[in-house]
Structure 1
Amino acid sequence: MARRGAPGLVVPASRGLRVAVAVTRWHTDIVDTMLDRALSALREAQVQQPTVAKVPGALELPLMCQHLAKHHDAVVALGVIMRGDTPVFDHICATVSSGLLRVSLDESTPVGNGVLKVEDETQAWARSGSSESIADRGHEAVVAALYTAHALHDCAPPTLTG
């Protein structure tokens, strides 16, 4: 995995932001590790009481994220899509990714995409944020969503009064 050019982002202080995390029920051992890392990043950011919503699988993530985006400043999607024996892997990856992007654009709410698209469990664990991992996608998805939420807030037009 290429890390060259990756931004050196720290967890931004985000007290007062409302954040939700949507997670899948597939590959729960890996996803639970990613959720723990995401929640750790939210604690570090001083986000109070993040919402956690579980869905059956990756295809349900965009709808849940759209629902959560209506009442939160940022949303994070976590899951694992692993290539199987049938040819649906590419379709599911594309559908979930485009669905999450659409939610972000339609709702004007950042959606941190922490959905792993991998060949096997080894690749998933390598990106899960476990102590042996080379990447921490749950943590990174939270940081990306928080940075974007702050950027949107800072660029928001002034509120009109009177």
Structure 2
Amino acid sequence: MAGHGAPTAQPTDCHDLRVAVVAASWHPQLMDGLLAGADRAFKDHQVEAPVVVRVPGAFELPVVAAALASQQYDAVIALGVVIRGGTPHFEFVCNAATDGLGRVALDHQVAIGFGVLTCDNEQQALDRAGLEGSQEDKGYEATSAALLTAQTLRKVKRHTP
């Protein structure tokens, strides 16, 4: 499990950030865990009304994240699950989601929370989805990282790092 070595950042007050979540629909149980983790992070960081938009799958995350970023959101959290199968489809979807979300972050200078689980099997996803018995909570982690990054971007843009 890659969870060791994670930074320990205390939640900060992010009530003034405009935040959106774009979440895939495949693997409902896992997505419920990721969304619940995001909700816990929003509470810890005092984000009161994040917008949540659903899309069919991980491939669709970047285009909707870009649309949200263009609407002046400070942070966009992308949540999804891709589980390896027996064809190269896994690599295509994972690469498209990863590259696309990275492009959105750079093109729009917006914080993107990368909460896309890319796992070899369902057990790996269950271990990371923030469900009861999970070893990690990637929905929480991606959301917290995006919120802290949005605050940093705001400071940098104001020339007060």
What's the TM-score once normalised by structure 2's chain length?
A: 0.94
C-alpha distance in 2 between matches for 1:42 and 1:93: 26
Q: Which string of whole-angstrom CA distances, capped at 9 and with x for unpartnered residues, describes residues 65-95 of structure 1?
A: 0111122110000010011122211121111
After TM superposition, the structure 1 stretch with the greater mean CA deviation from structure 2, 88-97 or 73-82, is 88-97
- What are the superposed Cα offsets for residues 23-42 of structure 1, whole Å, 9 maximum, x if unpaired? 00100111011101101211
The equivalent of 1:42 in structure 2 is 42
Residues in 2 aligned to 1:130 and 1:3: alpha-carbon distance in whole angstroms: 15
In 2: Cα distance, 1:3 partner to 1:27 partner: 22
Calculate the aligned-residue CA RMSD, in Å: 1.2
Contact 2:3–2:136 (8 Å) recurs in 1: no
- What is the correspondence of 1:70-81 to structure 2 with a 5 Å cutoff? 70-71=70-71, 72-81=73-82
Map of 1:8 onto structure 2 = 8
* Alpha-carbon distance in structure 2 between the residues aligned to 1:43 and 1:110: 18
Q: How far is the alpha carbon of 1:20 from its aligned partner?
A: 0.4
- Tell me how far 1:44 sits from its aligned partner: 1.8
Contact 1:20 1:75 in 2 (8 A): yes
Q: Following TM superposition, by how much is the alpha carbon of 1:60 offset from its aligned partner in structure 2, in angstroms?
A: 0.3
Higher alpha-carbon Rg? 1
Counterpart of 1:146 in structure 2 is: 147
C-alpha distance in 1, partners of 2:144/2:94?
Answer: 22
How big is each residue's C-alpha offset from its partner over 1:113-160, in whole Å with a ceiling of 9 and x where there is no partner? 0000001111101000112111110000011101110111111146xx
Instruction: State, as a whole percentage, how many aligned pairs show the same letter.
Output: 43
Residue 126 (structure 1) aligned with residue 133 (structure 2): no
Aligned residue for 1:61? Answer: 61
TM-score, normalised with respect to structure 1: 0.93
Which consecutive unaligned segments of at least 5 residues does structure 2 have? none
Residue in 2 aligned with 1:92? 93
SS in 2 for 1:7: coil
Residue 22 of structure 2 is matched in structure 1 by 22
Deviation beyond 3 Å, 4+ runs, structure 1: none
Q: Which amino acid aligns with 2:57?
A: G
| Code of the aligned partner of 1:138 | G
Aligned-residue offset at 1:3: 3.2
Distance (whole Å) between structure 2 residues aligned to residue 144 and residue 66 of structure 1: 18
**Partner of 2:107 in structure 1?**
106
Which sections of structure 1, spanning at least 5 residues, go unmatched? Answer: none
Distance 1:130 1:144 in 2: 19
